[in-house]
Structure 1
Amino acid sequence: MANGSTLPRRALGRQLRKLRERAGFTQSAASRVAEISPQSYGRIEDGRQTKVTDLGLNALANAYETTDEERRLLLDLAREIRAATASGGGWWRAYADAIASGFHHYLSLEEAANWVTSWQTTVVPGLLQTRDYRQALTWATNPDQSPEEVNRTLDVAARRQDLLNRPEFHFEALMSEAVLRYTVGSPTVMAEQVKRLIDRAAAPNVEIRVVPNSETRPVGLFSRSFHLFSFPPLPSSKLQEPPVAFMEALTGDLYIERRDEVEKFSREAERIRQVALSPSASRDLMLRIVEE
């Protein structure tokens, strides 16, 4: 399974927590039923990487007095986790030396998603960056990196962009005009970057919309940049994973999974769409910027 085990692990953890709380068990009691440590059981409910056996899941299903359908769902999710582990994981494992700590989780979500919405106020989204633009950003943020390390980072960025060649993957880029006006690298680098955006926007699964500087309603400015991931149903269990929001910060990345909090980001994205130019008007604006 190309999307790795992140989603089925999250789904299994959520299902076990729901069943445990319904049955009135503590995590400590559940760990005794499954014959694992409380820490290991906690990691399972948190969706983190921990060995999960059918024997342990059947014991928990018995203790939680689940229905046959609920038991099958747990076992289906465990099967999906094992299949993903056997496949060797995501492509980014080969670039472990070039990926920042914790970013593999972002890559697994991105790879698993079938729809990503990105709101950007400062930089072009990674999936749409040219190599020269990415290189300028990398040198600015990591000036001590060797040329070899920089090239590995650029290779990861290029590999990520293969997602845009998947017809079932849809990317919606919402960005402020300021993103197009900042001079990253040089005027030539920026001109080529904006041309790349124009080319990418011609694809049926990529939509780029710009909030112009002339817009008087400051929608999106206080929310900062963010990403929204939506996912297709899991292959075997057909369980629908809820969306995830992501914000990148200097002191650490933030993944938002609580439904009410993610919904706030969804509403903010809709407000931004209301003030953004249409795709065709955004293209006209980008053409003018290239000419300038």
Structure 2
Amino acid sequence: MAGSSLPRRALGRTLRRYRERAEKSQLAAGIAAEISPQSISRLEDGQKIRIATSQIKDLLELYQVADSAEREEVLGLWREVKDQDQAARTAGTVKGWWRSYSDQYVAHFDHYLSLEAAANHLTTHQLTLLPGLLQIPDYRRVMIRTASPELSLVDIERRVELSARRQERLQDRTFRMDILLSEAVLHSRPGGSDVMSRQLSHLAAVSEQPNITIRVVPLDVESPLWLMVQSFTLLEFPPLATRVIEPPVVYVEGYEGALYLEQDEAIARYRQALTDIQRLALSEEETRALVRTMAKEYAA
């Protein structure tokens, strides 16, 4: 998980919980650790700051964390953060492999790529377009040109290359992906019938992988819920080495930005929406048959 933000997020969340339990301000925490309140805020948000083990222990003293199990929870997370940083430096991926493409995506997408790289289960519901992890190069090129017609050919190909690098996750059998698609996605034709025929053939082939499920929601289903929740992605993560469970995140992308939802209530609502959408969707076999039939029709 070199480059992952998960251990830092877990450490920050835990420290915030103990600070609030002790009814201490970020200003008081900053004074105790001899850093700024802004640094405490970044630490609690899971961002990288310069801090030593002794300063972490100073925070635990301020927060009156005397229980041995609680102290070990924090110090274990801190060790994992340091181990991950060392592994990233050794692998040459201190900033995450995707950062070399940072000139090719909007700022908020950096956080998503960090989460995607760390996730072991991704569930996505899409109303209009195929998710990036499933797009063939020609389909992707059409999307890029449509969104950014001013881009040079070089930049277009760099974005296609970024997409291809992301898709390497699909070959990892410990990574699971469940895709729920509106039938409208199959009827749209970015790039024309030839591109869509090849895209759907790829979709059918990918659906054969044991770690990937693809199901289509027919346009004529009666429930409107699948339309009301719009497109979103639920990311879930493996336990950290300290056995801490990192909470899932719902990612909702918009035309001008994105939402990252972590609150228990929000996650529960989206899980219920997924349950309802799955109830409406075709089976994997029915979906595969439909996709192959439409691929042949586009090729005709």
User: Aligned to 1:207, which of 209, 213, 218?
Assistant: 213
What letter matches 2:33 in structure 1?
Answer: A
1:143 matches 2:142: no
- Corresponding residue for residue 216 of structure 1: 222
Q: TM-score, normalised by structure 2?
A: 0.94
SS of match in other structure, 1:102: helix
Deviation, structure 1 residue 99: 2.7
SS of match in other structure, 1:9: helix
Deviation, structure 1 residue 240: 0.3
Structure 1: segments with no counterpart, 5+ residues: none
Deviation, structure 1 residue 172: 0.4
- Corresponding residue for residue 79 of structure 2: 79
- Corresponding residue for residue 199 of structure 2: 193
What letter matches 2:258 in structure 1?
Answer: D
Q: What is the distance in 2 between the residues matched to 1:189 and 1:182?
A: 11
- Corresponding residue for residue 154 of structure 1: 160
Contact 1:17 1:45 survives alignment (8 Å): yes
- Corresponding residue for residue 9 of structure 1: 8
SS of match in other structure, 2:140: helix
- Corresponding residue for residue 37 of structure 1: 36
1:279 matches 2:279: no
In structure 2, the CA distance between the partners of 1:5 and 1:82, relative to structure 1 (3 Å rule), is farther
Deviation, structure 1 residue 97: 2.4
1:266 matches 2:271: yes
Q: What is the distance in 2 between the residues matched to 1:84 and 1:238?
A: 15
Deviation, structure 1 residue 290: 1.3
User: Aligned to 2:135, which of 129, 134, 143?
Assistant: 129
Structure 2: segments with no counterpart, 5+ residues: 89-93
Deviation, structure 1 residue 180: 0.6
SS of match in other structure, 2:9: helix
Deviation, structure 1 residue 111: 0.8
Deviations 1:150-172 (A, max 9, x none): 00000000000000011100000
In structure 2, the CA distance between the partners of 1:84 and 1:99, relative to structure 1 (3 Å rule), is farther
Q: CA RMSD in A?
A: 1.2
Q: What is the distance in 1 between the residues matched to 2:202 and 2:162?
A: 18
- Corresponding residue for residue 232 of structure 1: 238
- Corresponding residue for residue 182 of structure 1: 188
- Corresponding residue for residue 95 of structure 1: 101
Q: Percent identity?
A: 41
SS of match in other structure, 2:251: strand
Q: What is the distance in 1 between the residues matched to 2:183 and 2:286?
A: 12
Q: What is the distance in 1 between the residues matched to 2:259 and 2:45?
A: 16
Q: What is the distance in 1 between the residues matched to 2:100 and 2:72?
A: 34
Contact 1:208 1:279 survives alignment (8 Å): yes
- Corresponding residue for residue 68 of structure 2: 68
Q: What is the distance in 2 between the residues matched to 1:190 and 1:106?
A: 27
Deviation beyond 4 Å, 4+ runs, structure 1: none
Deviation, structure 1 residue 29: 1.0
Q: What is the distance in 1 between the residues matched to 2:264 and 2:48?
A: 22
Total equivalences in the alignment: 290
In structure 2, the CA distance between the partners of 1:35 and 1:5, relative to structure 1 (3 Å rule), is farther
Contact 2:183 2:216 survives alignment (8 Å): yes
Contact 1:247 1:253 survives alignment (8 Å): yes
Deviations 1:203-231 (A, max 9, x none): 00000000012222223101110000000
Q: What is the distance in 2 between the residues matched to 1:176 and 1:248?
A: 17
SS of match in other structure, 1:97: helix
Q: What is the distance in 1 between the residues matched to 2:210 and 2:162?
A: 24
What letter matches 1:51 in structure 2?
Answer: R
Q: What is the distance in 1 between the residues matched to 2:39 and 2:221?
A: 51
What letter matches 2:80 in structure 1?
Answer: E
What letter matches 1:218 in structure 2?
Answer: P
Contact 1:53 1:78 survives alignment (8 Å): no
Contact 1:5 1:80 survives alignment (8 Å): no
What letter matches 1:49 in structure 2?
Answer: K
Deviations 1:190-215 (A, max 9, x none): 01111111000000000000001222
